[in-house]
Amino acid sequence: MGKLRKLLPIAALVGLCALIFSLRLHTYDEPLERDLTTYAVTAHEMLAGKTLYREVWDHKPPAIHVTYAAAELIAGYGRNSIFLMNVLAAIATLFVCYSAGSAAGGGRVGGCVAAVFWTLISGDLALEANQPNTEVFMNGFLAAAFTLLVRAEKGNLGTGRAVIVGVLFAVASLYKQVVVVQPALLAIAYVGCCQPQLRKKAFVDVLIIAATGIAIWGLVFEYFFARGSGAAFTEAVFGYKRYYSSNQSHQDLRNIQGWMAL
């Protein structure tokens, strides 16, 4: 009976992995969203020797382009690399969700519920969740960091795990810099949920996480400036974002005013 209880979660996870693979295979020939084709072309040109942000341009941080370039090296340029990223990212996040769901008293049942929920939501066609856009990879890294936080023993990550959490959050933000909001909120929750006598340690953990993230972004800046494309990187990832968000806000405001006029 004990062996059966241990085998059931494994069987459930294997079955969910097979389901994810089958669902992604079913939509293998689905028309690709424009962001995906942009990332694929940019990565392809990077592998051909072009400089990101200076010779090939996009306003996203570099992690998504590096990911697509790695997938192309493994599976070639085209749908096979898209499929590979799609399946691997979804399955990796599946196991992370199981780990998070089974923490804090959730047990195997909680882990399986979290894994099932992820499998269903990750294949939502209306959300385009079944295509490897930046959010797919962000989800994996954010979920992994969240898992370490909820599994912290007595509200204390320790230096090593705090650094790992910082790395995971930083990598997620290198797919889309807006991700800094989620780590900030999770840090507040982490400190707030600790017992009062442990909050000082929790606060130190948060400082380590923040310092790790800042250090990683510092290295990214240093890399691009050392290659002579620092100004292009800064303008694309931060300067253009200010224009884009402002322009979008103005457009949304005009739409609201139009609806009110009706």
CA separation for the pair 119, 90 (Å, rounded):
8
Q: Is residue 1 part of a domain?
A: no
pLDDT in tens, 152-167: 866 678 889 999 999 9
pLDDT band at 197 (very low <50, low <70, confident <90, very high): confident
Q: 189 in a domain, yes or no?
A: yes
The region that residue 128 occupies, defined by phi over 0 for left and psi between -120 and 50 for alpha, beta otherwise, is: left
Neighbouring CB atoms inside 10 A of 124's CB total 10
Residue 45 lies in a domain: yes
For residue 210, pLDDT over 60 is answered with yes
Residue 260 maps to a domain:
no
Cα–Cα distance for residue pair 174/168, rounded to 1 Å: 10
| Domain encompassing residue 124 | 9-254
Burial class (CB in 10 A: 0-12, 13-18, 19+), 54: middle
Is residue 229 in a domain? yes
| Confidence band, pLDDT 50/70/90 cuts, at residue 259 | very low
The partner residues of 56 in beta bridges, in order of sequence, read 52
58: nearest Cα among 236, 177, 225: 236
- HSE at residue 110, side-chain half, CA atoms within 13 A, is 9
pLDDT digits (tens, 9 = 90+) for 97-140: 999 888 866 788 888 999 999 999 888 888 888 889 999 999 99
- Give how many domains the chain has, as a whole number: 1
Whether 174 is in a domain gets the answer yes
Q: What is the pLDDT of residues 48-73, one digit of tens each?
A: 999 999 999 999 999 999 999 999 99
- What pTM did the predictor assign? 0.86
Residue 217 forms part of a structural domain: yes
31 within domain boundaries = yes
| Chain-centre distance for alpha carbon 180 | 11
The pLDDT of 12-30, averaged and rounded, is 92
